[in-house]
Structure 1
Amino acid sequence: MKLLTQSPRSSIFMKIVLTFLGVLAPLYALNLYMNESGQQTVRSEIVQSMNTKVELYVNLIESDIQRVIKLIETYVNDDDLMKLSTSTAIMSDIDRTDAILALKNKLNLVKTSSSFVHNVTAFIPELDRSVTSNDDAITAFDEAQFKALSVTTNRYETPYVIWNDRLFISVPYPDPATSGGRKPVFLLTVEVSQPALRSAMRTFTNNGETAVLSGNHLSYTVTSNNGSEEAEAAVPELVASTGSKQESEEGAMPPDRQIQKSITINGERHLVIAKSSSMLDSTLSIFVPEEEIFGSLSHYRWWMLWLTLSSIVIIVFFALSIYRIIQRPMHTLLRSFNKVEQGNLNLVVQYPLKDEFGFLFDRFNAMVRELNVLVHEVYEHKYRVRLAELRQLQSQINPHFLYNSFFILHRMAKLHDNDNIIRFTKYLGEYFQFITRDGMDEMALEMEVKYARTYTEIQAFRFGNRIHTEFGELPPGMEQLLVPRLILQPLIENAYNHGLENKLKDGWICVSFEQQHDTLVIAVEDNGDELDESKLHSLRMRLLSAEESAESTGLINVHRRIQIKYGHESGLSLSKGESGGLRAELRLPLIWEENENANVPIVDRG
Structure 2
Amino acid sequence: MQQILEAAGVREKPRGRFSLFAKMNSLIAILFLPIVLAYTYSNDVTFHVVSRELQTSSARQLTFLSGQIDSRLNQMMDFSLTFSRDPNARDFNGLNVWGDRYDRMQTRYAIQEKMRLQSGVTDIWPARYALHSQQNRQVISNYARTGDYSEDYLRRNMSGKWTYGDAGSGQPPYFYWFYTDSLGQQGLLTGSSLVVEASFSSDNIRNMLDTYKAGGQGDPFYYHKGDAPILNSSADRELSEALIADLNTHPLERTAQRIVELRGQDYLVSSVGSAHLDGQLIDVVPLGQVLGPISFSRNLFYLSIGLLFVLGVSASVLLYRNVQRPIRKLMNGLLRVQSGDYSVRLHARNRNEFSFVFERFNDMSQRIQELIENVFNEKIRAREATLKQLQAQINPHFLYNCLGYIINMAQMKDEEAVVSMAFNLSAYYRYTTRMEKEIAPLEEEVRLLVNYLDIQKLRNGRIDYGIDLPEELRRQEIPRLMIQPIVENAVIHGVAKSYASGEIRITGGLEDGFCVIRIDDDGPGLAAEEYEALNRKMDEELREEMGCGLWNTHQRIVHQFGSRSGLRFGPSPAGGFRTEIFWEIPGKQEADPIRPAVSY
Could you say which TM-score interval applies, normalised by the shorter chain?
Answer: 0.3 to 0.5
TM-score by length of 2: 0.42
TM-score by length of 1: 0.42
Which is greater in Rg? 1
Asked which structure has the greater RCO (Cα within 8 Å, sep 6+), the reply is 2
